[in-house]
Structure 1
Amino acid sequence: MVDKQRDFVLRTIEERGIKFVRLWFTDVVGTLKSVAIAPAEVEGAFTEGLGFDGSAIEGLTRAYEADVLAHPDPTTFQVLPWRGEIDPTARMFCDITTPDGQPHAADPRQVLKRTLAKAADRGFTFYTHPEIEFYLLKSSQFGADGPEPVDRAGYFDNVPGGTAHDFRRRSVRMLEDLGISVEFSHHEAGPGQNEIDLRYADALTTADNIMTFRTVIKEVAIEQGVYATFMPKPLQNEPGSGMHMHLSLFEGDTNAFFDAGAQYQLSTIGRQFIAGLMKHAPEITAVTNQFVNSYKRLWAGEGESKLGEAPSYVTWGHNNRSALVRVPLYKPGKGQSSRVEYRAIDSAANPYLALSLLLAAGLKGIEEGYELPPEAEDNVWELSEGERRALGYAPLPASLDHAISYLEESELVAETLGEQVFKYLLLNKRAEWRQYRAQVTPYELRSNLEVL
């Protein structure tokens, strides 16, 4: 099968006149890396890998073990539509190995593959479906009032002649050309904010698709003279951008979350999976929400229902959009679509690591038989602090510093990510917090300079 896939790639390169092939992989933070090779080098890359200095990549290797190899995955071959017919270019995602051919412990794609293998050993296949939000701005530059969005539209608004219509249409067409199926696209609640939902796929394909999605969105923005950002909260008084992730486990062709006779048609395995997500949510938040700015999104809704879409407390509910984990409305006759939705994750998260930890947390709940606490039936934000405390609704970390304190004590995260990725994440996030903490912000100057 692998030989057939490689032959298909080599034949397509020749037939389509491909001039460059980009080999893609990500660093630990989730930044896409790319190296272009000539078509004549692709066959050698398949058989031997492409060597490079891994110590120059964030978190990949230490200086004394710098040499690594990138092995292109032929199943991910796609021609890049934005390159057009001038110097046609294709891409493939890569797995990173050590010189002796072993999977590299610090390759995020390998981290997800390891976690998926553990699920497979238990008979599960992990399927995911992301709702990806982002902002379109007139420019990456900003003045005293912050970035300027391309429109002032709101949720599901139809704006005749608006930038977002053409942008979404072009983006969806380009994604489909890349073999990435799109379910929905629409204007979101914030001015200039948009959402595009990708169809269900296995988790590894989803992670690859998210990395491709971000690149497509950036490329279309450049083409149309605007700027796209996946920053969790770029506008102070507007909603942040999340990546609600729908999750399900299958045993063969059977949805393991579906039980026709259970409440919400949610099986015991599904309930235990949610319990695992909830129990381990605080310790995985530094990965699902990895930037200082992430916590401006998670906690923006306090006292402001307009901004309260992001969850801040560890709760679950049926169709409750203030909950961390939501059980979407069941559609009669569609038991195979049973799923749960994790709502905290950012659009800027490293999808390989985030999906690894969501799966690991859910599997832990199944293995240990975690009990699911009572569901949250009310809007969590509208409750008083005392009411939330009485109901046992624990908060998610309120800052990156707070999240790091949970992360560094987590056996689940350390085991899932592996020692090297775990240590690098801690170093990277601690450094970001130190740099942020040292800043003197415009808020402080406005509030204090003249009165102190």
Structure 2
Amino acid sequence: MYTVDDVRKFAEQEDVRFIRLTFFDIYGHQKNISILPDQLERAFARGIAIDAFAVGGFENERHGDLYLKPDPSTFTILPWRSVDGSVVLMICSLVYPDGTPFEKDMRARLKQAVQDAAGMGISLRMSTEFEFYLFRDDEKGRPTCEPLDTGGYLDVSPLDHGENIRREICFTLAEMGMQPQASYHQCGPGQNEVDFHASSPVRAADEASLFKWVVRTVASTNGLRADFSPRPLPEEPGNGLHVNIQVESEDFLNPIDENAVFCSFMAGVLAHIRELCLFTNPTPASYLRLGRRKAPACISWSNVNRSLLVRVPSDHVNR
């Protein structure tokens, strides 16, 4: 994990030309501002100012300015930009001019939730599984709805035309310090999936947020368009984002205690799913996917039925 001193040394020794400070708006859209290395100390000490009123969902009456404070632990090199000099990136926290955390900084909210859980003796590990379509561009570089291939679930070349793209995606992620676990062709034509290893909730969220950017960038350099939308092709499977959650407690004394904590956590998810849908299904198109092709059809759980909201792995149920 990088520290402030590590970032300083790297910037001095490795010919860093630009530092991209990234954050995410309340809708999960990635934003950034690039600074030169001579502004690094100011960024760490005070932050870099942005106009909050110009960011959708960030409008507030308290103050028009917000400051980006980079988190050195998120430091990474951008492989596709680092040719004539390194371009690096850090994910930022959002604060008011007086240093008070910004209420709509979802990353800060997640950190607080993790701390609240730790206060109850509960720790979490999370991982994500992303599905996305790859569509061809036309001869003028404009996006189309023509899938890259006609392959199906776990198909191989020549039916699967996406294996080289997925390989490039995984290599890029690895260069950036992220850890993909598996990649393969999904059910739809031109549909792919990349899965991540489990990690802390904040790290998992950081990786998930940057992952889409990496995929879209790699696809674009190969004359393709990556589509993560819920239902890109009306008659084909939709794109899911599966979030795997491991719940552990320092107070586990026996399997009965473990099961009680797990069941309470899952009951909370089921009880609050209406509110959670604001984040899990944020657009009208999100609901076109539900109830079809293994997408959730009802609010319940199972260790077998993949059409329910929550699936508990069989190895947990059988313990």
| TM-score over 0.5 (shorter chain) | yes
Taking structure 1 as reference, are residues 41 and 63 closer, same or farther at Cα in structure 2, changes over 3 Å only?
Answer: same
Specify the alignment match of 1:322 in structure 2.
Answer: 307
- 1:157 & 1:150 partners in 2: Cα distance? 13
- 2:43 & 2:62 partners in 1: Cα distance? 24
Equivalent in 11, 16, 35 of residue 13 of structure 1: 11
Taking structure 1 as reference, are residues 123 and 110 closer, same or farther at Cα in structure 2, changes over 3 Å only?
Answer: same
- 1:235 & 1:313 partners in 2: Cα distance? 23
How far apart are residue 132 of structure 1 and its match? 0.7
Which digits, 9 at most, give the CA deviation of each residue in 1:360-412, with x for residues without a partner? xxxxxxxxxxxxxxxxxxxxxxxxxxxxxxxxxxxxxxxxxxxxxxxxxxxxx
How far apart are residue 64 of structure 1 and its match? 5.8
Specify the alignment match of 1:293 in structure 2.
Answer: 285
Specify the alignment match of 1:224 in structure 2.
Answer: 222
How far apart are residue 216 of structure 1 and its match? 0.5
How far apart are residue 275 of structure 1 and its match? 1.5
Structure 1: gaps of 5 or more residues: 302-306, 336-452
Which digits, 9 at most, give the CA deviation of each residue in 1:296-337, with x for residues without a partner? 1114x2xxxxx2x1012011111321221111131899x8xx
Taking structure 1 as reference, are residues 162 and 227 closer, same or farther at Cα in structure 2, changes over 3 Å only?
Answer: same
1:20-419 map, 5 Å: 20-62=18-60, 65-139=63-137, 141-142=143-144, 147-160=145-158, 162-252=160-250, 260=255, 267-299=259-291, 301=292, 307=293, 309-330=294-315
Structure 2: gaps of 5 or more residues: none
Aligned identity (percent) is 34
Taking structure 1 as reference, are residues 187 and 161 closer, same or farther at Cα in structure 2, changes over 3 Å only?
Answer: closer
Which digits, 9 at most, give the CA deviation of each residue in 1:2-43, with x for residues without a partner? xx8111001112222110010000000110001000011111
- 1:191 & 1:72 partners in 2: Cα distance? 40
Taking structure 1 as reference, are residues 326 and 290 closer, same or farther at Cα in structure 2, changes over 3 Å only?
Answer: same
- 1:259 & 1:36 partners in 2: Cα distance? 51
Which digits, 9 at most, give the CA deviation of each residue in 1:60-113, with x for residues without a partner? 132661111100000000001111322421000000001110110011111212
> TM-score of the superposition, structure 1-length normalised?
0.66
Give the aligned CA root-mean-square deviation in angstroms.
Answer: 2.2
Give, as a single letter, the amino acid of the residue that structure 1 aligns with 2:307: S
- 2:225 & 2:9 partners in 1: Cα distance? 36
How far apart are residue 122 of structure 1 and its match? 1.1
- 1:192 & 1:259 partners in 2: Cα distance? 46
> TM-score of the superposition, structure 2-length normalised?
0.93
CA contact (8 A) 1:61 1:106 kept: no
- 1:293 & 1:241 partners in 2: Cα distance? 11
Structure having the higher strand fraction is: 2
SS, match of residue 315 in structure 1: strand
How far apart are residue 213 of structure 1 and its match? 0.5
CA contact (8 A) 1:218 1:228 kept: yes
- 1:285 & 1:294 partners in 2: Cα distance? 10
CA contact (8 A) 2:143 2:224 kept: no
Structure of greater Rg: 1
